[in-house]
Structure 1
Amino acid sequence: MTEAFAPRTGTCRCGATELTVTAPPFMTAACHCDGCRKMAASAFSLTAMVPAAAFRVSRGQTVRGGAKGPQLEHNFCPDCLTWMFTRIVGMEDFLNIRPTMFDEPSWCDPFIETMTAERLSWATTPARHSFTGFPPAADYPALMAAFAAARAHA
């Protein structure tokens, strides 16, 4: 029997902006692309994908930043400029939260890693699935099912 998911809140570094999620992630990932590395100031960025309907900014507000292109909407705390979440234009049913905003260590474990063609030679993750680019869209249902099964047995 699966336990009900209790809402989780997370904050930016300064605490001015708070996020609330009312459903668990359906996938976690590490992205090795050059853009994510620069925005995260790290070897890769971590993502927890959550349903858009289960997400809200519960205190404060966010501002757009990062790559302000037509496809990605990166959202930051306006006070400390912490990168908090990303919406992908055209994929409004989910968004990518920075899992380190929440006190949920398992949300930081990447199940997949993407853009490994751009990976720094020394950067490794414990991801179970690795892709040189992004997974083909047809692979997502099986990956999400495998993620859910792995979480159920954790």
Structure 2
Amino acid sequence: MNSINLPMEGGCRCGRIRLQITKPPILTMACHCTGCQRMSSSAYSLSAAIPSDGFLVTKGEPVIGGLHGGAKHYFCPHCMSWMFTRPEGVDWFVNLRPTMLDDPSWFSPFVETYTSERLPWARTPAAHSFETFPPMEAYGALTQEFAESVAIEGAAGSGKQA
């Protein structure tokens, strides 16, 4: 079981953008799609879906990068760190790159997506794998199972499970 201590703070590589999360993630993921591979310059991108009302940019102003359409990918305008994504039409959560947090040691992907595009050697400890995205009807059970697997500590979590 992972333990999340809230609130958490983080920022880009150069420190010009800072952020805070006060609510636990809804779900954690690794995406193997070629778009994420190129955006992250890695085998996959990591994300934690944070409720929008538990996410705040506390310093600086991120800029939109990536393909500039559909999902809005936010970057530091100076160091160009890919920090978070706001999916178009889905304003109730923010996909945070968890390695932007000062302490991402709690993070582990619960779901991996686009395994159909996975590099042959790339593996994660995700509990669930999908060739593309999970079907919409699967998200309820996935988020419930994830919530039951995570302990929340600190002021926002009061030591209770999510």
TM range (shorter): over 0.9
Q: How does 1:23-34 map to 2 (within 5 A)?
A: 23-34=23-34
Query: 1:72 is matched with which residue?
Result: 71
Which string of whole-angstrom CA distances, capped at 9 and with x for unpartnered residues, describes residues 101-154 of structure 1?
A: 1113122x100000110100110000000000001111111001110111148x
What TM-score, normalized by structure 1, do the two folds share?
0.92
Larger RCO of the pair (alpha carbons < 8 Å, separation 6+): 2
Q: Distance in 1 between matches of 2:35 and 2:4?
A: 36
More helix by share: 1
Which string of whole-angstrom CA distances, capped at 9 and with x for unpartnered residues, describes residues 20-57 of structure 1?
A: 11101111000000010001000000000000111111
What TM-score, normalized by structure 2, do the two folds share?
0.88
Query: 2:110 is matched with which residue?
Result: 111
Q: Any gaps of 5 or more consecutive residues in structure 2? A: 152-160
Query: 2:157 is matched with which residue?
Result: none
The answer as to whether partners of 1:84 and 1:97 remain within 8 angstroms in 2 is: yes
Pairwise CA RMSD: 1.6
Q: Any gaps of 5 or more consecutive residues in structure 1? A: none
What SS does structure 2 have at the residue aligned with 1:78? Answer: coil
Number of aligned residues = 149
The answer as to whether partners of 2:4 and 2:150 remain within 8 angstroms in 1 is: no
Percent of counterpart pairs with the same letter? 50
Query: 2:95 is matched with which residue?
Result: 96
Query: 1:55 is matched with which residue?
Result: 55
Q: Judge which range, 143-152 or 115-124, deviates more.
A: 143-152
Q: Distance in 1 between matches of 2:140 and 2:147?
A: 11
Q: Distance in 2 between matches of 1:149 and 1:20?
A: 23
